[in-house]
Amino acid sequence: MTKARGVTRRTALSVIGGGTAAALLPAWGASAGGRSHGLAVIGALKYPAGFSHLDYVNPNAPKGGRIVTQPSTKAYNQDFNTFNTLNMFVLEGVGAKGMDLTFASLMAASADEAGSVYGYAASEVEVAEDGKLLRFFLRPEARFHDGSPISADDVVFSIETLKTDGHPLISTDLYGVEELVAEDDATVRIRLGPETGLSLPVRVATLPIFSRAWWAGRSFRRSLSEPPLGSGFYKVRDFRFGSFIEYERVANHWAEALPVMVGRYNFARVRYNYYRDRVPAFEDFKKGEMTYREEFTSRVWAREYNFAAVAEGRVKRDEIPDGSPSGAQGWFLNTRRPRFADPRIREALGLAFDFEWTNKNLMFNSYRRTASFFENSPLKAEGLPSPTELAILEAYRERLAPAVFKEPYVPPKTDGSGRDRNLRRQAAELLAAAGCEVSGGRLLAPDGSPFRIEFLDDDPIFEPHHNAYINGLKALGIEASYRVVDAAQYTERLKRFDFDITVSRFSMALYPDEGILNFFHSESATREGSNNLAGIADPALDEILKRLVRARTWEEFVTITRVVDRILRAGHYWVPHWYKGTHWIAFWDMFGRPETVPPYDPSIVDTWWFDAERAKAIGKAEG
């Protein structure tokens, strides 16, 4: 059960091997003051100028066929279960999965590096000595789908629009863009503010490019029911809100021979189906109406892949490695609610969850317990603070909880009974110390009202896990309930922070990135649509986060991030879930795939291809 519910930023560790520390170089792949074919946040670019293709693709992959799947990740205003707008880059509405496939960007990311991008609509980039002035040089062949050229003015319009009207998770990242100028039709000049971090150039380089002419007279912020003019490898072929969206590949796309694009986007059609429930989704997969599926439910993975097509070899299963840090998944407590204001209460709520029982009885012991917001990465805090961590912490000693200066909080291991008496006693003591009282078997909050909690979700798949946790809470006298609402209502309520507890998952970049402010900074606690679900608002943490995004060396970045992890864990803002280091995938045997799996993104839609012979052998000639 690792369904991503938050914006997942690609994380990577390509230059950090064997525990050695690597310096964070300036955010460009070549020496400052010169032109380069790419940008890198950490270290040098892996691929040199003139490279032929990425290592993890098949450069000779055939084009054609179709893949049908369902959303397994989401970004910005998207939801797993529905959509009602074709604009995924704004706060309003619920965006369609895959719309990013329809837009080109200045540069495109690789999936086997940390924050590296290579020329796409821009052939090269020039970076000034101080790293704050960039010039992107557009390719003359870069075109929108109607044949009109992508101009520097379109790029300026796109960045300006996203900065003013884009989803808060985009617009807040762009606060440091101080100047945007189209020097001529093919040259864009961008000046960044003095306090910006190393990742902003890469962030700007990967933004979608919109057509100024197409958007003239249209409101970018409002819901969109017609496909916007794009320039990517795909365009919308057909869709039905809340049901499906299908994309078709643009024939003879202008970028298909670029080194960063060779062997990629091979399917003639890509379709995402939407389901309100996972049972009909799985049934559609069993019938072959869906042809690729990533499995997130351990019970289904262990017991239900026993249908005829699996036995006959027409459906294949695989477990592929996931090299990205697992990040944070758990129940997030909305501290905007008065009943969650006291960290002792939040800690007590965490003690009511029996992970060991849940893992054994509901998840076939498939998972490990999460403890850190930076789990399974070198950024995770462990042991007592190091001297370099203490050097930062001491300046805030009077403003931080004493627990921050001890070993970081780790959820205790239960006896696996589902009713660990020792942990219940500890929880009861914490609740009493926070001013809660038990009356008639019911727990009363410090204000004397019954202590009630509602778990909010849009998918019943977590119901057994919620119920196991609810039973633990009820043993403390807490009136807990589980409410499933439709996807649109769920998305709106999360945007407005209208919930007690909800499930989310996210991971952070392994380099200094302003995006972390959207999760933990005080300003994001009140900004609708932010990922600060818990409402974390700590002035001391704010100051340390600002230092984090301005880190200039790997050692400094790791040290500050571990300090942040200690503060967050001491705050008990969540009840951590679990993680595993693989992807469970199942697919009808009609695809080819490269021998190499990139470590930080499975890249299925990106790098697989339709195999006509395999498809014919299982009776699916057209996919």
Residue 185 has pLDDT above 80, yes or no: yes
Give Cβ neighbours of residue 196 (< 8 Å, ≥ 6 apart): 132, 176, 514
Question: How many angstroms separate the CA atoms of 561 and 374, rounded?
Answer: 9
Mean pLDDT across the stretch 329-352?
Answer: 97
Question: Which tens digit of pLDDT belongs to each residue from 156-173?
Answer: 999 999 999 999 999 988
The tokens for 567 are 């503060």
* C-beta contacts of 119-123 below 8 A and 24+ residues apart: 119/37, 119/38, 119/258, 119/260, 120/255, 120/258, 120/260, 120/261, 121/150, 121/155, 121/209, 121/231, 121/255, 122/188, 122/205, 123/37
Residue 20 has pLDDT above 70, yes or no: no
pLDDT digits (tens, 9 = 90+) for 56-85: 999 999 999 999 999 998 999 999 999 999
User: Who's near 124: CB < 8 A, 6+ residues apart?
Assistant: 35, 36, 37, 136, 137
Dig out the tokens for 415 from the structure: 């006896």
Q: What percent of the chain has pLDDT over 70?
A: 94
Confidence bin at 324 (pLDDT 50/70/90): confident
Mean pLDDT over the full length of the chain: 91
Classify 592 as helix, strand or coil.
Answer: strand
Q: How confident is the model at residue 43 (pLDDT cuts 50, 70, 90)?
A: confident
Phi, psi angle pair for 188, to nearest 5° = -115, 125
Average pLDDT for 182-207: 94
More confident residue, 587 or 196: 587
Contacts of 421 (CB under 8 A, 6+ apart): none
Render pLDDT for 574-617 as a digit per residue (tens, 0 to 9): 999 998 888 999 999 999 999 999 988 889 999 999 999 999 99
Average pLDDT over residues 415-425: 95
Q: Average of pLDDT values for 124-149? A: 95
Question: How far apart are the C-alpha atoms of 296 and 322, rounded to whole Å?
Answer: 14
Q: Which domains does the chain have, with CATH numbers?
A: 35-64+84-234 (3.40.190.10), 328-579 (3.10.105.10)
Task: Pick the more confident residue, 505 or 537.
Answer: 537
Which residues, 6 or more positions from 85, have their beta carbon under 8 angstroms from its beta carbon? 77, 92, 93, 94, 95, 96, 223, 224, 225
Percent over 90 (pLDDT), the chain: 80
Q: What is the pLDDT of residue 32?
A: 52
SS3 201: helix
